[in-house]
Amino acid sequence: MGAPLLALVNGRVLGDHGPRDGLAVLVQGERIVAITAADDARVTSAQQHDLHGRLLLPGFIDVQVNGGGGLLFNASPTVETLRGIAAAHRKFGTTGFLPTLITDTAEVMYAALAAVNAAIAEGVPGVLGIHVEGPFLAAARKGIHDAHLFRQPTADDLAALSVGNRGVVMLTLAPERVPLDAIRQLNDAGVIVVAGHTAADYATTRAALDAGVRGFTHLYNAMTPLGSREPGVVGAALDDPHSWCGLIVDGHHVDPVALRIAIAAKARGKSVLVTDAMPPVGADRPDYVLNGHTIVARNGICQSDDGVLAGSALDMASAVRNTVNLLGLPLAEASRMASSYPAAWIGLERRQGQLVAGQRADFAVLDDALVVTQTWVGGVAHEVA
């Protein structure tokens, strides 16, 4: 006997042009069956869940999550760490994410890959794969990464990233630090190669795009800027119509004007919200240890003692609110930047990221202030305490 039919009713379902009343969402098991009129006969005969007039959005997908709930993936690359990080971000509407490992030793990188594979095998809710950010980066644009651990990829690295992984694999690299043949090999193996922490010029970045680079990690931050005669990495990112750009919309990493310019320059669907979240998200403590240094989140900013940004204290619901309030974008577009656009970036657009029949029943339920009150993952509701 199949799962019972469930109807989510009395909500404002976010459509292409904004919230809509008078609709119900039918769910069976892990999937959306239909978006239909509230008086549909299937709705009246189904088990009903009252949304109490709140907004129903597709669940958020975050491709850059270093930590949360007081946990840092680098510090303990295990299934239990991933379970805790997922739970912390679920409170803020994130139903799918790429746990992100910043620059570390080869042993830690391989352990992180194994942990993600195990988490997916065990069905840890929300884990979609892994984002490996480094160690193939440029010291000149290291940010908070430990440049002593930077290196070029070995044959073992390429094999570990390319073979036998259960979920999505995203890799941030500096194009000038990795041979084009290696980028082609990774791309051909299904790895989503993105550029970041790079001092490359425009020509080098353009060549990397042609070789298979498909996006840019936290646009503007830790990369060569756009200049009048030297377009740099930012110029290559904005000039290329096919690549995606991750944007940290926290009011600290990038000025809102620069963000609006980037969104206007990119083709629709190519600007993606990311958090670059660290352990303070969803935790009582504002501090954490990274590379042997204590980082403290103050006024929403994670910085080292010498003023270097160290990830963020941003959650995805706040990123959506900021996109509406700081950037002036409609809620429907902000929502797509947090759901369907990242799903497309990582190749999961047929499975999740939209409120359409056949997709996973991953939802974020928000009040009028765009604060998450409930999150659904695969048809299962998770209350926000």
Q: Using an 8 Å Cβ cutoff, are 63 and 360 in contact?
A: no
Q: Which residues contact 382 (CB under 8 A, 6 or more apart)?
A: 90, 374, 375, 376
165 is in an annotated binding site: no
For 173, the 3-state DSSP assignment is strand
- The pTM assigned to this predicted structure is 0.97
Checking if the pLDDT of 96 tops 70, the result is yes
192 is in an annotated binding site: no
216: its two tokens = 């840019």
253 is in an annotated binding site: yes
Q: What is the CA radius of gyration of the chain?
A: 20
148 is in an annotated binding site: no
Which among 62, 104, 276, 315 is annotated as catalytic? 276
What is the dotted CATH code of the domain comprising 59-345?
3.20.20.140
Q: Using an 8 Å Cβ cutoff, are 115 and 80 in contact?
A: no
Task: Confirm whether 276 is a catalytic residue.
Answer: yes
Predicted confidence band at 330 (pLDDT cuts at 50, 70, 90)? very high
311 is in an annotated binding site: yes
CATH 3.20.20.140 placement within the chain: 59-345
108: its two tokens = 């830690």
The residue length of the chain stands at 385
CA separation for the pair 293, 308 (Å, rounded): 12
pLDDT 10s digits, 159-189: 999 988 899 999 999 999 999 999 999 999 9
For residue 33, the surrounding DSSP H or E stretch is strand 31-37
pLDDT 10s digits, 350-371: 999 999 999 999 999 999 999 9
Q: Which CATH architecture has domain 5-57+355-383?
A: Roll (2.30)
CA separation for the pair 200, 217 (Å, rounded): 14
Predicted confidence band at 1 (pLDDT cuts at 50, 70, 90)? low
CATH 2.30.40.10 placement within the chain: 5-57+355-383
Q: Using an 8 Å Cβ cutoff, are 219 and 243 in contact?
A: no
* pLDDT mean across residues, the chain: 96
For position 16, what pLDDT does the model report?
87
CA separation for the pair 347, 330 (Å, rounded): 25
For position 30, what pLDDT does the model report?
96
The residue assigned the tokens 């990080």 is 85
pLDDT 10s digits, 100-138: 999 999 999 999 999 999 999 999 999 999 999 999 999
